[in-house]
Amino acid sequence: MKRSFPYLAVIGILLVILVITAATLWMSAGARNATDQAVSTVSTFYLEELAGRRSQVVSRFFESQAEQMQRAVDLMDDRVLSSQDALRQYIGNVESLYGLGLFAVVDEDNVVYTKQTTYMGGSRYEFLSGDQAGKMTITTSSVYGAGKQICQAVPIHDRTFLGKKLKTCFIEIKMEDIVSLLAFDTEDNGTHFSLYYRNGVNLTGLDFGPVGKKSNLIQEMRTYLTGDQWTVLSGQFTNEEAGEVHFMHSGNKQILYYSPIPDADWMFTVLIPENLIYDKIAGIKDQTILRSTIQILVTLLSLLTFFFLFALQQRRKSTALLEQQRTIAVRDSLTGVGNKYAYSQKEAAVNAGLQSGSASPFALVVCDLNGLKKVNDTKGHDEGDRLIRDASHLICSLYDHSPVYRIGGDEFAVFLQGADYDRREEIFEELNRKTDENNCSGGPVIAAGMADYEPGDMQLQDTFRRADKLMYERKNQLKQLKTEPVSSEL
Amino acid sequence: MKHRKLKGSLILVLGLFFLVGVFPLPASAESSAAKDPGMPVHFNRSLDGYQPAKDHYNFYFTYKTVHAWWDAVAMGMEEAQQQYAARGITISYEYMAPVTASAEDQIRRLEEAAGGSYDVIGVDVADEEIITPVLNEMAEKGIRVMTFSSSDAGPGCRRIAYVGNTHNYEDGAQLAEALCKKLGGKGKIAVLVGTHGAPCHEDRAKGVRDTVARYPEMEIVAEEYDQDSIDLARGLTLTILQQHEDLAGIVCCNMSNPVGAARAVQETGRSVVIVGMDHDREALRYLNEGVIYCLGIQDCFSIGFDTVQVAVRVADGCLPGTLYPEKTEEITTIIYQEDAQQMLELLYGEL
């Protein structure tokens, strides 16, 4: 029973550790799978959000510009349209008011009127040659060294200037302004963005990762995509539909997302390496796993501490119980002195010492309480017990350095060694004196006989017999002393 | 004594500053200093140190026909306009042309402009025989007239100055020479010209004829005018190709010629060497693909830029001489297939 408890505790702890370890591994594996799924989901969500918002920003920019142009046209009155100077001044005011780079109106012969210049626009602006009447147009053109220019035009109705109908007005927008609307922090993180025509030509000239600045996106993607993927991509570009493709480049998975810009024949494109998102999420995952691991370790440590304390407490309890049981086994429950069993143990130990010749000199006092039966019979057992306790108390108070044993109902034995042994005669006399007093006054009357160990004693019993004999002699003596005064009184 | 010397030095330095400000270097010298001789077109132009007399100028420019070539000239004008604006000087102008080249239309425009309040009227002469007398008449009335672009007025014209191509004959000769050498000095060729009477086109055509004449085994079998129309140039080329199955080459004297000719040659799948003028985007693409052998690129940007610079001086009453030459010469560079991509990127941002 004593040994099974630690084994069970160890097995229990090992089981707990095993379960916790298994749970930790399961949780880690689960976290990894969840991360992979999250990366895919977040990538799509992130890119959709990114592209969607940027497309909206550009679209709103164009809407805002169109509203401003329309307002400017609405405010053109007869005074403005009375002369070229008045019109130029008005155009200048509109540019200042709305912060426009270039605002121009065009008549039916494609004569373009700006703040300071009047010129022929038919060959310069593609949107003037096509049938664009009645709707807003956004076109790009590359005019002889001027870079790519974006022209946003809105139609003009019911306005006549110098006898000719005005057909449209437009503003020129710098590509840098559009790029700045689209820009986000891509520094060193591998993300690329750009605008592409529907035919795959890069509109902004921005570097687009593995596609580069100059290559046609659609053509370049042939090298990265499967036939089916490429067909979907090119179809979505042609039809101005948003889409997403995944491909490998330099060992990294890349995600290309594209979204049409409303009112313009452009596709906003974002290219992002998946490991970028993975790294971001992996950081969160690692933190979560670390936190969980710490939590598990703390739990494990707490459990171990709990087990240790529990085991310690159990050990203490069992030791105390054992001690208690041992005490109960050797102590007389009524008087608190050693019982018969304790005396037999002491006897065995003394005998062993005698046999080995290692025993120190000792003496034995054998005591017998007189009158116990009479008290029990006349005053009850409680009073008898009290008398026994008083007798024990008297013996113990005198022999305070020696073990006292109750070896029978009214018999005690005191094993003398050390200081009590040295003073044995003195103490014994005191005991007899007390007994004599009690014999007269009514306290416990103890008949005692003391015998020293003698070299011929082979065992304690030999000494005991001599002391016991002397005790009986004293007992008889005390009986006589007790009887004589009574007889004289009678 | 020391103070006197110092004072004298200061006066000398200030005097030099004054002279440089009022009498800057001649335009031709300044231009050459600002231009990279290796580049066919110079976009990094800056105004010289001339200080205009007024803070506002109003010009009228008219040219042969609505065409991308003159849009390129307009880009140079706009750059000069912006640089003057940065100096607080407003330049306003009209830059007008008919949809189809017409000397009569040009006369009408000049007459209207003469009645306006323009500081200078600039003309890209549509037909030197017809327009030169009109310009002289305007000059007699005290109207300040200059010519620009690729076509000057006829000899003896009283226009004040000219900015543009002064070597059209040489350009034609250079193109013809390149073709003749490519063909090994023998073969039948056709010549496509632009507008009848347009000095630049006619001069180039003459340069072509004279050069080909020096090659006894070469023969010009056809010469046609496309009226600056690409469609017409294509149609004329198809006809010529049909009529001359052994045609070996075509010389194109304007901007629309090479585009129309290349389209026709590509359509028919014939092997014909095409040489031509100017920087049309489609022509540059044909050059890049090898359909066109070489192109003569004029620095249109500088033509426009210098036209405005000279117009300001003319408006201030300055006559050609120290401040600017009577003819501001702009360069033409012959480019080949290996140069095409760079040119497409430079002019059109085509990557």
Inter-chain touch A205–B99, beta carbons under 8 Å? no
- Nearest-CA distance A120 → chain B (Å): 6
Rounded-to-integer distance, Cα B291 and Cα B234, Å? 14
Statement: residue A487 has pLDDT above 50: no
Contacts of A282 (CB under 8 A, 6+ apart): A35
- Is A154:A235 a contact under the CB 8 Å cutoff? no
In this prediction, residue B9 has a pLDDT band, given cuts at 50, 70 and 90, of very low
Statement: residue A485 has pLDDT above 60: no
B137 touches chain A (CB under 8 A): no
- Nearest-CA distance A179 → chain B (Å): 16
- Nearest-CA distance A26 → chain B (Å): 53
Which of A120, A139, A174 is the endpoint of a domain? A174
Which of A138, A153, A174 is the endpoint of a domain? A174
pLDDT in tens, B95-115: 999 998 899 999 999 999 999
Q: Sort out which chain B residues have CB atoms less than 8 A from A110's CB and list them.
A: 66
A107, A109, A114, A119, best to mutate vs chain B, most B CBs in 10 Å: A119
Which of A149, A174, A199 is the endpoint of a domain? A174
Inter-chain touch A123–B66, beta carbons under 8 Å? yes
Tokens linked to B179: 């073709």
Percent of chain B having pLDDT more than 90? 75
**Can you tell me whether residue A458 is helix, strand or coil?**
coil
- Is B307:B73 a contact under the CB 8 Å cutoff? yes
pLDDT in tens, B159-217: 999 999 999 999 999 999 999 999 999 999 999 999 888 888 999 999 999 999 999 99
Give a yes or no: residue A335 inside a domain.
Answer: no
The full set of domains in chain B, from first to last, is 25-164+299-331 (3.40.50.2300), 168-277 (3.40.50.2300)
The CATH number linked to A384 is 3.30.70.270
Residue B24 pairs in a beta bridge with: none
Which secondary structure element, helix H or strand E, spans residue A309, and what is its range?
helix A274-330
CA distances from B269 to A421, B260, B261, B272 (A): 143, 14, 12, 9
Inter-chain touch B75–A120, beta carbons under 8 Å? no
A123 touches chain B (CB under 8 A): yes
In this prediction, residue B239 has a pLDDT band, given cuts at 50, 70 and 90, of very high
| pLDDT for the residue numbered A490 | 32
pLDDT in tens, A421-478: 999 999 999 999 999 888 888 789 999 999 999 988 889 999 999 999 999 999 888 8
Q: Is the dihedral of CA B173, B179, B183, B186 positive or negative?
A: negative
Tokens linked to A89: 């001044």
Inter-chain touch B75–A147, beta carbons under 8 Å? no
Q: Sort out which chain B residues have CB atoms less than 8 A from A142's CB and list them.
A: 281, 347-350
A308 touches chain B (CB under 8 A): no
| pLDDT for the residue numbered A483 | 56
> What is the DSSP secondary structure assignment for residue A336, as one 8-state letter?
S
Inter-chain touch B93–A118, beta carbons under 8 Å? yes
The CATH number linked to A75 is 3.30.450.20
Give a yes or no: residue A217 inside a domain.
Answer: no
Which among A117, A123, A213 has the least Cβ separation from residue B351? A213
- Is A471:A447 a contact under the CB 8 Å cutoff? yes
Which carries the bigger pLDDT value, residue A289 or residue A468?
A: A468
Lowest mean pLDDT among A163-172, A434-443, B81-90, B333-342: A434-443
Statement: residue B35 has pLDDT above 80: no
Give a yes or no: residue A441 inside a domain.
Answer: yes
Widest distance between CA atoms in chain A: 173
Give a yes or no: residue A354 inside a domain.
Answer: yes
B346 touches chain A (CB under 8 A): yes
B154 touches chain A (CB under 8 A): no
| pLDDT for the residue numbered A186 | 52
Give a yes or no: residue A41 inside a domain.
Answer: no
B298 touches chain A (CB under 8 A): no
| pLDDT for the residue numbered A4 | 65
For the ranges A130-139, A247-256, B25-34, B302-311, the one whose mean pLDDT is highest: B302-311
Q: How far is CA A395 from the centre of its chain?
A: 67
Q: Sort out which chain B residues have CB atoms less than 8 A from A205's CB and list them.
A: 349, 351
pLDDT in tens, B265-287: 999 999 999 999 999 989 999 99
**Can you tell me whether residue A166 is helix, strand or coil?**
strand
Mean pLDDT score of chain A: 85
Give a yes or no: residue A268 inside a domain.
Answer: no
Which among A88, A117, A142 has the least Cβ separation from residue B349? A142
- Is B257:B192 a contact under the CB 8 Å cutoff? yes
Statement: residue A82 has pLDDT above 70: yes
The alpha-carbon radius of gyration of chain A (Å, integer) is: 58
Which carries the bigger pLDDT value, residue A91 or residue A11?
A: A91
State the average pLDDT over residues A245-255. Answer: 87
Give a yes or no: residue A103 inside a domain.
Answer: yes
Q: Sort out which chain A residues have CB atoms less than 8 A from B347's CB and list them.
A: 142, 144-145
| pLDDT for the residue numbered A310 | 85
A144 touches chain B (CB under 8 A): yes
| pLDDT for the residue numbered A263 | 76
Rounded-to-integer distance, Cα A218 and Cα A232, Å? 11
| pLDDT for the residue numbered A462 | 93
When divided into structural domains, chain A yields a total of: 2
Percent of chain B having pLDDT more than 70? 89
Closest CA to A444 of A482, A483, A408, A391: A391
Tokens linked to A178: 């559009």
Q: Which domain holds residue A72?
A: 61-174
pLDDT in tens, A87-125: 999 999 999 988 888 999 999 999 999 999 999 998 888
B144 touches chain A (CB under 8 A): no
B348 touches chain A (CB under 8 A): yes
The amino acid that residue A71 corresponds to is R
pLDDT in tens, A319-347: 888 888 887 888 898 999 999 999 999 99
Complex ipTM value: 0.83
Which carries the bigger pLDDT value, residue A279 or residue B209?
A: B209
Inter-chain touch A123–B347, beta carbons under 8 Å? no
Percent of chain A having pLDDT more than 90? 39
**Can you tell me whether residue A264 is helix, strand or coil?**
coil
Pairing of strands B247-252, B186-193: parallel
Give a yes or no: residue A30 inside a domain.
Answer: no
